[in-house]
Structure 1
């Protein structure tokens, strides 16, 4: 995986979820987000 900033990582995760991309890719992004202590969900 490329080295991504936190913002790029969350944007990639949201884009993959929206497009219904490869489930393995989504799970890997989600795992990395949680390992960095972030939450990919926006509070509205």
Structure 2
């Protein structure tokens, strides 16, 4: 049971990090010198 809870917490953190990354990614891409268009597939 605690194993399942831990998996759920890990999944939640992973999703949270994914959302944070999705918000920060465009800003990072804009800050970087434009070489080529990055293809971001989710």
Bin of the TM-score, shorter chain as denominator length: 0.3 to 0.5
Superposition TM-score, scaled by structure 2 size: 0.38
Rg bigger for which structure?
2
The answer to which structure, 1 or 2, has the higher relative contact order (CA under 8 A, 6+ apart) is 1
* Larger helix share, 1 or 2: 2
